[in-house]
């Protein structure tokens, strides 16, 4: 079955090869892009004004949804994740206080600027080169509104490249990245797609947007993954040695001498017993408490983050993985806000 996105792209390609002037199509695309970015810009302005009006915040976490799934090599369900994660964040089954005592009802701790309308953009025939630039621009619009800092809801892992690029460019230099994942996502161009969710960190490292990249939870890695890791100087911590590495990983100090720390959490870093609702089920992963211990003990100025690859189409009927993703968001937000 074709996805709605691919059908929209194919429709626009037919228009471009017909008698419809290319300039007419481009003008239409430009209007949709401007409308999409205006939505994010104005929501970010509103939330930024509110946080500044409340006072006392040095950094405030702002959720930004990027419902993109077409760069997945297997299933595209992560495109539907952001609303499910939001619903779980505010689910009445739990209270609004994080484990470290931050109250999420306080807009200075967590606010929300909504979703970039990815599907509507793709329906106009915009290619991935331009789409990635639009994602980066949307992140910069959030960061324009000090003290907002972006916590991006994916979406597949391809979004990390334009998000990290935006954070690094906005701050004026490289950052350190803590990447929690079952996979290194560092192929040069997986299946010929340079924007594949399996290639995002190759693009990040090529661009010089990160000084250090620590990858934790790795348990599905091949020769190319290891060679690419060596090429870019990546610190790869595989699950087969986690018991030995635990002391290091639960006492990380990152971001000194650079512009800060970025956290990227692929939900499949967790063992599927804890999070079955992912596209790539890979046994032998981290426990939820392992992940929280790493996050809670991390020392560094967190300037941005993403939580990606939750697939609601593979979740349990009661949305267990949505609750897991939501708690990851809650705890990362608490660490970022101050």
183 is in an annotated binding site: yes
Alpha helices by DSSP H, 172-286 = 200-206, 223-232, 242-249
The contacts of residue 15 (CB under 8 Å, 6+ apart) are 25, 125
In 10 A of CB 266, how many CB atoms? Answer: 27
Cβ(15)–Cβ(125) under 8 Å?
yes
Order across the sheet with 60-66: list the strands: 110-115, 60-66, 148-154, 302-308, 261-266, 175-180, 210-218, 235-238
266 is in an annotated binding site: yes
Give the Cα-Cα-Cα angle 241, 244, 250 (nearest 5 degrees). 105
Sign, CA torsion 239/245/248/250:
positive
318 is in an annotated binding site: no
268 is in an annotated binding site: yes
Sign, CA torsion 187/207/333/311:
negative
Q: Can you give the length of the chain in residues?
A: 338
185 is in an annotated binding site: yes
Q: Which residue has the tokens 């306080």?
A: 106
The tally of CA atoms less than 13 A away on the side-chain side of residue 120 is 15
157 is in an annotated binding site: yes
Q: Characterize the bridge pairing of strands 60-66 and 175-180.
A: unpaired
Which residues are documented as binding site for Mn(2+)?
A: 157, 181, 183, 185, 266, 268
Residue ranges for the known binding site are 157, 181, 183, 185, 266, 268
């Amino acid at each position: 079955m074709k996805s709605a996105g691919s059908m929209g792209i194919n429709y626009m390609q037919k228009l471009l090869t017909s008698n419809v002037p290319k300039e007419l199509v481009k003008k239409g695309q430009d209007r949709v892009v401007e409308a999409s970015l205006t939505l994010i810009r104005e929501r970010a302005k509103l939330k930024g004004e509110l946080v500044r009006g409340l006072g006392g915040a040095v950094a405030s976490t702002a959720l930004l949804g990027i419902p993109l799934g077409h760069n997945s090599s297997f299933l595209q369900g992560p495109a539907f994740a952001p609303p499910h994660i939001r619903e779980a964040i505010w689910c009445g089954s739990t209270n609004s206080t994080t484990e470290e005592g931050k109250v999420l009802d306080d807009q200075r701790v967590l606010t929300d600027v909504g979703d970039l309308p990815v599907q509507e953009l793709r329906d106009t025939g915009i290619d991935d080169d331009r789409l990635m630039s639009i994602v980066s621009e949307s992140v910069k619009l959030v960061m324009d509104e000090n003290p907002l800092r972006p916590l991006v809801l994916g979406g597949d892992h391809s979004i990390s490249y334009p998000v990290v690029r935006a954070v690094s460019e906005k701050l004026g230099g490289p950052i350190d990245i803590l990447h929690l994942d079952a996979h290194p996502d560092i192929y040069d161009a997986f299946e010929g797609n340079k924007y594949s969710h399996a290639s995002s960190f190759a693009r990040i490292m090529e661009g010089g947007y990160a000084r250090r990249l620590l990858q934790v939870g790795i348990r599905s890695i091949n020769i190319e993954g290891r060679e690419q890791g060596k090429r870019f100087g990546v610190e790869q911590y595989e699950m087969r040695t986690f018991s030995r590495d635990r002391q290091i990983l639960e006492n990380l100090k990152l971001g000194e001498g650079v512009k800060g720390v970025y956290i990227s959490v692929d939900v499949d870093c967790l063992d599927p017993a804890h999070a079955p609702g992912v596209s790539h089920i890979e046994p032998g992963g981290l426990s939820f408490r392992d992940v929280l211990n790493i996050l809670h003990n991390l020392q560094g100025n967190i300037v941005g983050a993403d939580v990606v690859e939750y697939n609601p189409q593979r979740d349990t009927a009661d949305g267990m993985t949505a609750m897991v993703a939501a708690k990851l968001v809650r705890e990362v937000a608490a660490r970022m806000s101050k």
